[in-house]
Amino acid sequence: MSEILKLNSPAVFIGKQGQDGVISFGSGQPDLPPPPEAFAGINLKRDLRYGLIQGEVALREALSHEYPGSTAENFVITNGASEALDLIFRSWGKGGKVLLPRPYYYSYPPIIEMAGMVPVYTDMIEGRIDLEDFKKKVKECKAVLINSPSNPTGRVESIETLKEIERITQELGIYVVSDEVYKDLIYERENYHIKGDHVITVNSFSKTYCMCGVRVGYLWSSDKTVVENVCEEKTHTSMNTNLVGQDMALHAMKAPKEYIKKQQLIWRERRDFIYQGLLSLGFELWRPEGAFYVLPKCHNARKFLSVLFQDYKVIAYLGEWFGAPDRLRFSYALDVKQIEEGLNRIRDAMKKVSVL
Ligand SMILES: Cc1ncc(COP(=O)(O)O)c(C=O)c1O
């Protein structure tokens, strides 16, 4: 019998995609190609001296067209959404609570704690924010961190919920950090971009443009102090974001809108395939409305993950890393053939571990 792996985080699996017959439902990185336009941005003979800490002006200007009423001054270009999140919380200085809907993206609690702040949790209902509980807990917090579409639940918050969060936090004078890295990956409707001086939006080129490894993301804020403080923090840590990556991002934005629409069709087909597949294996799960994750219930999740990995070369992530014990998270950033093969292996592994 396989040993039960003592995995505390996904670190060991990140970057392992499709090697040695492994089927990875692990890392949330699109397997689809970036738009060809992105590659036109690679100019290794460009000026490679230090760049502006805030990010290249041309890229910030291009982004400002996607955020009505904005200018280049409202953006900071970062090493992925990850750095944007890290800088925001650290720039506030130590102390204060941050409200976090649970299940959450696994990096949120460490980012908040490393900034010297304290995460306070509000449990979701059926993978979406419980507004009643949210309203009770938000009063004691300095900020909230939301993520719709959600990693790991795959759910999208309703426009009413987002507007209510926008309103309550404005009234209370509380910051909302809105992680919208999956904003272009919604199957049900358009993204609702929450607004206000108290809103800080975090976004990325990793998912929309399939450029995870290039590490370009950004934050948007209409509050000058937020932008200044984040730049101050970045000056003493990573300094400017990779210049060639920023050029690639700028060129990727020139891709026709069909690029994103075509991807959505592919993701939708995969969503339907894995959702139906896991349902037919007997799993209980929420139907994803955005992003590319499913989070089925799973008894003996750690044991099952160990068997899946060691005996069947299938990678999945433990729900407990996302604050969802007794669940497994599957990323469906794989073509349908591989998802089918993965589901077959899961079916076989289910004969060894009781998961339902
Ligand atoms: C919700 C969420 N936020 C942020 C990130 C990090 O994105 P980036 O590659 O832009 O750092 C991820 C990556 O999976 C994510 O799922």
Pocket of ligand 1 (CB under 6 A): 28, 80-82, 105, 147, 151, 179, 181, 204, 206, 212, 217
| More confident site: 187 or 13 | 187
Task: Kindly provide the b/e burial profile for residues 47-79, where b requires at least 16 CB atoms within 10 angstroms of the residue's own CB.
Answer: eeeebbbbbbeebbebbbeebeebebebbbbbb
Mutate to test the pocket of ligand 1, among 105, 218, 242 (most ligand atoms within 8 A of CB): 105
Give the lowest-confidence range in 6-20, 51-65, 195-209. Answer: 6-20
CB-based contact 314:342 (threshold 8 Å): yes
| Rounded average pLDDT over 264-283 | 97
pLDDT of residue 36: 96
Residue nearest to atom 7 of ligand 1 (CA): 81
| Rounded average pLDDT over 176-192 | 92
Please state the pTM of the whole predicted model. Answer: 0.96
Task: Identify the bridge partners of residue 145 per DSSP, sorted by sequence position.
Answer: 177
Mutate to test the pocket of ligand 1, among 106, 181, 208 (most ligand atoms within 8 A of CB): 181
Q: pLDDT averaged over the chain?
A: 95
| Rounded average pLDDT over 9-32 | 81
Say whether pLDDT at 355 is over 70.
Answer: yes
How many CB atoms within 10 Å of residue 121? 16
Model confidence at 17, in pLDDT bands (50, 70, 90)? Answer: low
Compute, in angstroms, the gap from residue 80 CA to the centroid of ligand 1: 7
Model confidence at 3, in pLDDT bands (50, 70, 90)? Answer: confident
| Rounded average pLDDT over 213-220 | 97
How many CB atoms within 10 Å of residue 1? 10
Compute, in angstroms, the gap from residue 305 CA to the centroid of ligand 1: 23
pLDDT of residue 16: 64
Nearest atom in ligand 1 to the alpha carbon of residue 150 is: 1
- What lies within 8 Å, CB to CB, of 204 at 6+ separation is 80, 81, 181, 216, 217, 218
Say whether pLDDT at 6 is over 80.
Answer: no
Compute, in angstroms, the gap from residue 1 CA to the centroid of ligand 1: 35
Output the CA torsion 85→88→90→94 (10° steps).
-120
Mutate to test the pocket of ligand 1, among 151, 185, 216, 246 (most ligand atoms within 8 A of CB): 151
Residue nearest to atom 14 of ligand 1 (CA): 28
Say whether pLDDT at 182 is over 70.
Answer: yes
CB-based contact 13:318 (threshold 8 Å): no
Model confidence at 189, in pLDDT bands (50, 70, 90)? Answer: confident
Say whether pLDDT at 40 is over 70.
Answer: yes
Instruction: Give the pLDDT confidence of 342-354 residue by residue, as tens digits.
Output: 999 999 999 999 9
CB-based contact 102:324 (threshold 8 Å): yes
pLDDT of residue 2: 73
| More confident site: 212 or 14 | 212
Full set of structural domains in the chain with CATH = 10-28+257-349 (3.90.1150.10), 50-252 (3.40.640.10)
pLDDT of residue 171: 97
Compute, in angstroms, the gap from residue 179 CA to the centroid of ligand 1: 8
| More confident site: 256 or 19 | 256
- Angle of CA points 58, 59, 64, to nearest 5°: 95
Residue nearest to atom 16 of ligand 1 (CA): 151
Compute, in angstroms, the gap from residue 348 CA to the centroid of ligand 1: 32
